[in-house]
């Protein structure tokens, strides 16, 4: 049976990434040694890091004045590193979901973090609009894709203060105007690589402005200066990320990827809207995530949830259970997920419906 991988993270990677990673585990860059057992300071691995950075810069059109670095600790470590490095006294947060809320919570350890708006009142099922950001904040933090509840900010907002974004679950899914951001960070395990590395794009001029002392390892400037090699970086995850980025470039880049992602999401949302057994959790099409598509059983069919879950699994649909805090279903349709998988899921939803006359 063909298996379709809808897991939210860690999640599906391109077959290219898996194949090239297996090659690299056996023989890395013609060294005759595995990428798992070679010095991060070897010239071959140093070249891997600089090529990965060059790929990121070219795929996202990163302007001059920005640095790309790789850190460990996941996107979650950035929740505290961002305020520690960027917030003198005040910051603003848009709380659109669980991860956004966790980021906001950490900022409060460092000063006056303001929640400018939240969609918590309706279980994070929409993106708040019409909020205002006080002009004296050191930065405004957004989470572009709400991985758990399935909303997404699909445009780069125009704001008058430095903008910081957690793009962990939609990085490389669309073109981004990097010049609008002071910092972008993303854990790799959704759209890029296996878990273990976090990618950071930071505008250099925003650093060095806070008065607090910053421990060496938690200071972005340490890692810029060390070219992501101040200490041993997550070598394997960076190598795998390089393969995904090569694949992405071969595929035609983020603009083509966006087109494919829009098409995949349309196929699935259309079926959720049409099928009488299911309802989408996010009503406004503008706010609907193209990466994590969430739906539940319609009220009159609530008791069929477990049955559908088992049915889908028996047809090879893996990882479609909703996050433990939401229930229902979530199909993650990251870059590497082929359209055929979405079509297969739609066919299963139709088949299940026709069995319920
Ligand atoms: C998965 C995720 C995180 C957490 O990432 P870790 O690498 O596990 O710390 C943070 N933010 C968003 C938007 C995510 O999707």
Q: Whole-model pTM above 0.85?
A: yes
Please give the CATH number for the structural domain made up of 15-251. Answer: 3.40.640.10
Q: What is the mean pLDDT of residues 238-256?
A: 98
Distance (Å, whole) CA 129 – CA 143: 14
Element (H, E) at 113: strand 112-118
Mean residue pLDDT across the chain: 97
pLDDT value at residue 311? 97
**C-alpha closest to that of 137 among 156, 120, 116, 109:** 116
Distance (Å, whole) CA 106 – CA 103: 5
Q: What is the dihedral of CA 64, 160, 137, 216, to 10 degrees?
A: -10
- The model's confidence at residue 356, banded by pLDDT at 50, 70 and 90, is confident
Atom of ligand 1 nearest to the CA of 147: 15
Would the pLDDT of 10 be above 80? Answer: yes
**What is the tens place of the pLDDT at every residue in 118-168?**
999 999 999 999 999 999 999 999 999 999 999 999 999 999 999 999 999
Catalytic site residue 166? yes
Comma-separated ranges of CATH 3.90.1150.10 domains in the chain: 4-11+253-354
Nearest CA, atom 3, ligand 1: 75
Above pLDDT 90, what percent of the chain? 98
Q: How far is the CA of 63 from the centre of ligand 1 (A)?
A: 25
Architecture of the structural domain at 4-11+253-354: Alpha-Beta Complex (3.90)
Residue 32 burial by Cβ neighbours in a 10 Å radius (0-12, 13-18, 19+) = exposed
Catalytic site residue 99? yes
Record the tokens describing residue 228, joined without a space: 């992501």
Q: Which among 20, 99, 154, 170 is annotated as catalytic?
A: 99
Ligand 1 cavity residues, CB under 6 Å: 9, 74-76, 99, 143, 147, 166, 168-169, 187, 190
Would the pLDDT of 344 be above 80? Answer: yes
Distance (Å, whole) CA 66 – CA 118: 30
pLDDT value at residue 74? 97
Nearest CA, atom 5, ligand 1: 75
For the chain, what percentages of helix, strand and coil (3-state, to nearest 5) are there?
A: 40, 15, 40
Atom of ligand 1 nearest to the CA of 143: 13
Would the pLDDT of 324 be above 90? Answer: no
Above pLDDT 70, what percent of the chain? 100
| Pairing outcome for strands 140-143 and 163-166 | parallel
Q: Where are the alpha helices (DSSP H) in 212-320?
A: 220-225, 235-251, 254-274, 305-314
The dihedrals phi and psi of 347, each to the nearest 5 degrees, come to -60, -40
DSSP codes, 145-208: EETTTTEE--S----SS-EEEE-TTTTTSS---GGG-SEEEEETTTTTSSTT-EEEEEEGGGSS
Q: What is the mean pLDDT of residues 249-269?
A: 98
pLDDT value at residue 336? 98
**What is the tens place of the pLDDT at every residue in 73-125?**
999 999 999 999 999 999 999 999 999 999 999 999 999 999 999 999 999 99
Would the pLDDT of 357 be above 80? Answer: no
Using CA atoms, how far residue 183 sits from 141, 176, 264, in Å, is 9, 12, 29
- Count of beta carbons in the 10 Å neighbourhood of residue 169: 28
- The model's confidence at residue 325, banded by pLDDT at 50, 70 and 90, is confident
Comma-separated ranges of CATH 3.40.640.10 domains in the chain: 15-251
**What is the tens place of the pLDDT at every residue in 181-232?**
999 999 999 999 999 999 999 999 999 999 999 999 999 999 999 999 999 9
Using CA atoms, how far residue 40 sits from 29, 44, 60, 244, in Å, is 13, 8, 26, 20
pLDDT value at residue 313? 97
């Amino acid at each position: 049976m063909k298996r379709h991988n809808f897991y939210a993270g860690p999640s599906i990677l391109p077959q290219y990434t898996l194949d090239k990673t297996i090659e690299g585990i056996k023989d890395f860059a013609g060294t005759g040694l595995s990428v798992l057992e070679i010095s991060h300071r070897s010239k071959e691995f140093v070249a891997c890091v600089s090529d990965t950075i060059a790929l990121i810069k070219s795929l996202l059109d990163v302007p001059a004045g920005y640095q790309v670095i790789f850190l460990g600790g996941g996107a979650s470590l950035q929740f505290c590193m961002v305020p520690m490095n960027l917030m003198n006294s005040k910051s603003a947060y848009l709380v659109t979901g669980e991860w956004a809320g966790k980021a906001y919570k950490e900022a409060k350890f460092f000063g006056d973090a303001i929640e400018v708006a939240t969609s918590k009142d309706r279980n994070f099922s929409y993106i708040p609009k019409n909020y205002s950001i006080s002009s004296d904040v050191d930065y405004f933090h957004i989470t572009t894709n709400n991985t758990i509840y399935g909303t997404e900010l699909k445009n780069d907002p125009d704001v008058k203060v430095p903008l910081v974004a957690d793009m962990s679950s939609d990085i490389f899914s669309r073109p981004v105007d990097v010049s609008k951001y002071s910092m972008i960070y993303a854990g790799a395990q959704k759209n890029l690589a296996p878990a273990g590395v976090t990618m950071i794009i930071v505008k250099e001029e925003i650093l060095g402005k806070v008065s607090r002392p910053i421990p060496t390892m938690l200071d972005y400037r340490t890692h810029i200066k060390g070219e992501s090699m101040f200490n041993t970086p997550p070598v394997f995850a960076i190598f795998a990320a390089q393969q995904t980025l090569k694949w992405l470039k071969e595929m035609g880049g983020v603009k083509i990827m966006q087109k494919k992602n829009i098409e995949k999401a349309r196929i699935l949302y259309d079926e959720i809207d049409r099928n009488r057994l299911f309802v989408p959790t996010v009503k406004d099409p503008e706010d609907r995530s193209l990466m994590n598509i969430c739906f539940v059983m319609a009220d009159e069919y609530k008791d069929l949830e477990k049955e559908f879950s088992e049915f889908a699994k028996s047809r090879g649909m893996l990882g479609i259970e909703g996050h433990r805090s939401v229930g229902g279903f979530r199909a993650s349709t990251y870059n590497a997920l082929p359209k055929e998988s979405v079509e297969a899921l739609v066919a299963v939803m139709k088949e299940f419906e026709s069995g319920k006359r």
